[in-house]
Amino acid sequence: MTEIQKRQDRSPVPSAFDYAPAPESREIVSLEERYGLFVGGEWVEPKSGESHPTISPATEEELAEVAYAGPEDVGLAVDAARDAFDNGWSDIAPSERAKYLFRIARLLQERSREFAVLESLDGGKPIRESRDVDLPLAAAHFFYYAGWADKLEYAFPNRRPKPVGVAGQIIPWNFPLLMLSWKIAPALAAGNTVVLKPAESTPLTALLFCDVVRQAELPPGVVNIVTGDGRAGAELVKHPGVDKVAFTGSTDVGKEIQRAVAGTGKKLTLELGGKAANIIFDDAPLDQAVEGIINGIYFNQGHVCCAGSRLLVQESIYEQVIAKLKRRMGTLRVGDPLDKNTDIGAINSKAQLERIQELVRSGEEEGADVFQPECRLPEKGWWFAPTVFTNVAQSYRIAQEEIFGPVLSVLTFRTPDEAVEKANNTPYGLAAGVWTEKGSRILSMAQRLRAGVVWANTYNRFDPTSPFGGYKESGFGREGGLHGLEAYVRFD
């Protein structure tokens, strides 16, 4: 026996592989102690005199003090946007507007690590998702709409598109920078100016974006950022100087906005809640489908409006799918969002955690069977283990209401007709997924599912060229693609 073989014999064979922590450095992000409002290209103190801290959901530490805009602050921001629109931005050559958008896109790429760390720090999502999904997509939207800025006459032939004016935009806390990009990029490409209000719990990447605006040398007032809570959003919606309102958030708030805008002549797009069905047929590639299920509901802790929170499994493969799903859930790592090994980060806020806990309790009380893999949750911060409910009836709250957390409800079906009926049996209509090897079945299901986006043998895949939006209580209008551009133009 050789010496090498002897050394190999003495080495113990590991029974399991553990991940050592691989934290991303926080040092790349430099936070101010206090942030004001970004109005007319400058930082200004709020006339309201109000400010509140933004909290890291993973550690409950205060990251920074952030100004809360009042009615007068919102009015000044709208005035600054109007002045920028009337005095140059809407009239400059479209090719010049395109240059600004290209600059912003490149700056987001150059500063992507900084933005990714801040997004995970402020929002709680895993750094892998911020780094590999949010930032590349944010930059891609600016690149895409930069390409359209000087081609509007080709985008809308024979229709003479013109900018709408001042756009009031309100974004949610689940994808702060990406939602900012979805809204600002098409608005600027079409020649509009913007007043944007980020969510009160995740304002920091929007505030850092103000520095990108400065670096890109965007004319003052073209982009204005006013932070605050729902009161600031309501002031922005009802301000008479706003020509277009774009909102992403809850269905209840969306209904309030629609009532407020009715009769004013303002253009409106709403991207609201969802309760998407992820449908697994018996001929689906099961291992691939299980990965799609995981990505569909546990991506970003389930804080996704189009999350595949209802799993519809054909009866003949039900037990096999559930066994594979539970085994895969056991490998998910819950913990520090800045650890590159983390799969599921922190719940965005204490209020959202309580909402998830309340709905999970209702599922148990109504008779569903709950499963959670063994995992140790950190003592500080707001956390919830990945959860799956089986033995779920259509009438249960967990099958009807949007939970917006890492909670999956499983139902079964026998035929494609039953799958369509169950999938459409919801007030929402934002997205759906279909898993099967038959192309004809995919096309048939996509035609019959009442959802704005239908993914086939994948889930939660986005592209700036493809429109996204919903039906019914999931809102109306589209973001992304030419459809997203049309919302920011008017025609003579």
Task: Find out whether 309 and 404 touch, Cβ atoms under 8 Å.
Answer: no
Known catalytic residues are 271, 305
Question: CB neighbours of 485 closer than 8 A, spacing ≥ 6?
Answer: 145, 148, 152, 155, 186, 189, 190
- Picking from 20, 470, 92, the residue whose alpha carbon sits closest to that of residue 274 is 470
- pLDDT of 1 reads 42
Q: Which two tokens stand for residue 328?
A: 């895969």
Please report, as a single letter, which amino acid is at residue 459. Y
Task: Give, in order, the Cα–Cα distances in Å from 176 to each of 7, 74, 283, 384.
Answer: 54, 20, 38, 21
Please report, as a single letter, which amino acid is at residue 448. R
Please report, as a single letter, which amino acid is at residue 4. I
Task: Find out whether 381 and 59 touch, Cβ atoms under 8 Å.
Answer: yes
Give, for 356, the enclosing helix (H) or strand (E). helix 350-366
3-state secondary structure of 354: helix
How many residues belong to the chain? Answer: 492
* pLDDT, one tens digit for every residue, the chain (492 residues): 444 444 555 556 666 667 788 889 999 999 999 999 999 999 999 999 999 999 999 999 999 999 999 999 999 999 999 999 999 899 999 999 999 999 999 999 999 999 999 999 999 999 999 999 999 999 999 999 999 999 999 999 999 999 999 999 999 999 999 999 999 999 999 999 999 999 999 999 999 999 999 999 999 999 999 999 999 999 999 999 999 999 999 999 999 999 999 999 999 999 999 999 999 999 999 999 999 999 999 999 999 999 999 999 999 999 999 999 999 999 999 999 999 999 999 999 999 999 999 999 999 999 999 999 998 999 999 999 999 999 999 999 999 999 999 999 999 999 999 999 999 999 999 999 999 999 999 999 999 999 999 999 999 999 999 999 999 999 999 999 999 999 999 997
CA-to-CA distance for 490 and 90, rounded, in angstroms? 13
- Picking from 248, 241, 284, 328, the residue whose alpha carbon sits closest to that of residue 441 is 284
Question: How confident is the model over 366-389, as pLDDT tens digits?
Answer: 999 999 999 899 999 999 999 999
Question: CB neighbours of 17 closer than 8 A, spacing ≥ 6?
Answer: none
Q: Where are the alpha helices (DSSP H) in 111-250?
A: 112-123, 127-129, 135-148, 152-155, 176-189, 204-215, 230-238
